[in-house]
Amino acid sequence: MTDACIRAVVESIHSSPTQAVLYLSGGASLALGLLMSVPGASNTVLEAVVPYSRMSMIQLLAKIPAKYCSQQTADEMALLAYNRALKLSSPGSPVLGVGFTGSLATTRPKQGDHRFHLSTRTSDRHWASTVTLSKGLRSRDQEEKVSSYFLLKAIANACKVSSTFDSELTESDVVADECERFFDEDKELEQLINGQICFKVYPFSSDKSNGDRKIILPGSFNPLHDGHLKLLEAATSICGDGYPCFELSAINADKPPLSIPQIKERVMQFEKIGKTIIISNQPYFYKKAELFPGSAFVIGADTAVRLINPKYYDGSYDRMIETLSGCKRTGCTFIVAGRKVDGTFKVLEDFDVPEVLKDMFVPIPAERFRMDISSTEIRRSCGL
């Protein structure tokens, strides 16, 4: 095998649109070096974390694993990496989560097997495999090389890139428990509602992103109407750069979760007009800020007045300040359009925003956008 062959595969990975987060423990360090040493790594690698110590792994998983080196742990790492990749990726890019945990040769003889467990997760596929290496056949460096090549081939496969090099396994090594599961759209949405994945992007828009920042208009979109479209357009013109998209939460704070058919029906509205929609599982803005750090959220004045009302924070002004300051620290802002509040048209300037939060709230002048229309009124006029 030549270095040129490996390099060609890594170049193909970097040329693919897939963006990845890798969580590696106990081996395969060479794979990370190979990915990072070839130009274009920033196209692929969003983040790489090596939770090597016991406490590091516990903090990553937010629990003590039953076994640190196991297929279950690798699967959990891959799912965490996938969700992290969703948060860090460019809008609409396919993402990949990689989990690897190994027990390879070390300075002292091991009583158990020399083995590693690998898991990859994309939006529609989970692949996993366990490899037991022939004990005593290789040095640590050689086991690192084998595990790294095996991991690199798995990443190439997940990126839909051909990998022609040999992972250098022998007949005495055992590849076992290899499994592959595919998820259709319904299964993905079920996982979202259940909290396994944090959001799903439908990148219907052909617009090119002017940066990683998202300009997000949340709503129920029941139905989507011209006011939504013009509001996001006005907000985007004020922000100057960013990727405009709509966001629908499958979870409602006061009502049952949306059903999968309901979600798909509302998504269809955006497909027809070629606009990107994100389905999340977070109805609260402080949680949305964690999901979409650095984003600009487009809201109406009626929502803004609720955001700064201590009533919605158990009556505590301090808790309101603390919660919104947390959103501010993520880099989030609120782009506020005028809206009827209690029958009167109000703009941001009509409300007393606390001084410490004022720079979070950016008004949309009424001359740039005003449309007194709502989905509720449309449903009522249609007798729905």
55 has pLDDT over 90: yes
pLDDT exceeds 50 at position 269:
yes
Same domain, 258 and 331: yes
Distance CA 53, CA 339 (A): 53
Buried b (16+ CB within 10 A) or exposed e, 268-279: ebbeeeebbbbb
Sign of CA dihedral 22, 56, 101, 107: positive
Higher pLDDT, 341 or 297: 297
Q: What is the DSSP annotation of 188-240?
A: HHHHHHTTSSSEEEE----PPPSSS-EEEEE---TT--HHHHHHHHHHHHHH-
Please tell me whether residues 247 and 316 are part of one structural domain: yes
State percent of the chain over pLDDT 70.
95
Domain C-terminal end among 182, 210, 244: 182
**pLDDT at residue number 382:** 61
47 and 153 in a common domain: yes
48 and 169 together in one domain = yes
pLDDT at 208: 64
Per residue in 84-118, pLDDT tens? 999 999 877 999 999 999 999 988 887 889 999 99
Q: What is the CATH number of the domain that holds 78?
A: 3.90.950.20
Average pLDDT over residues 81-86: 97
Name residue 308's amino acid. I
The size of the chain, in residues, is 384
* 67 has a pLDDT exceeding 50: yes
- pLDDT tier at 372 (50, 70, 90 boundaries)? confident
Lowest mean pLDDT among 208-217, 281-290, 295-304: 208-217
Please write the tens of the pLDDT for every residue from 161-192: 998 888 899 999 999 889 999 999 999 999 99
In the predicted structure, residue 13 carries a pLDDT above the cut 70: yes
Three-state SS across 102-117? EECCCCCCCCCCEEEE
Inform me whether the pLDDT recorded for 244 exceeds 60: yes
Residues 171 and 197 in one domain: no
Average pLDDT over every residue of 212-231: 93
The yes-or-no verdict on residue 241 having pLDDT over 60 is yes
Peptide bond into 354 cis (omega under 30): no
pLDDT at 267 over 80: yes
Yes or no: say if 219 and 201 are a contact pair by the CB < 8 Å rule: no
CATH number, domain of 198, equals 3.40.50
Domain that holds residue 107: 1-182
| Shared-domain flag, residues 164 and 224 | no
Which runs of E-coded beta strand occur in the chain? 19-25, 45-49, 95-103, 114-121, 125-133, 174-182, 199-202, 214-218, 243-249, 277-280, 296-300, 333-337, 339-341, 344-346, 361-364
Same domain, 139 and 245: no
Do residue 221 and residue 148 come from a single domain?
no
The last residue of a domain, from among 124, 151, 182: 182
Name the domain count of the chain. 2
Give the chain's mean pLDDT.
Answer: 93
Chosen domain end from 182, 216, 240: 182
Residue 3: per-residue pLDDT: 84
The reply to whether 157 and 227 lie within a common domain is: no
Torsion of CA 93, 196, 244, 372, to 10 degrees: 160
- Which whole-number Å values give the CA distances from 37 to 11, 31, 155, in the listed order? 10, 10, 16
| Residue 2: band (very low, low, confident or very high) from pLDDT cuts 50, 70, 90 | low
Distance CA 2, CA 43 (A): 24
In eight-state DSSP terms, residue 139 is: -
With cut-offs at 50, 70 and 90, classify the pLDDT of residue 1.
very low
Q: DSSP code of 298? A: E
2 and 82 part of one domain: yes
In angstroms, the CA 335 to CA 337 distance is 7
| Shared domain check, 220 and 171 | no
Q: Pick 108 or 123 by higher pLDDT.
A: 123
Residue 4 confidence (pLDDT)? 87
- Six token digits for residue 336: 């506020």
Same domain (yes/no): 367, 232: yes
pLDDT value of position 341: 82
Amino acid identity at 332: C
For the segment 148-165, what is each residue's pLDDT rounded down to a tens digit?
999 999 999 999 999 888
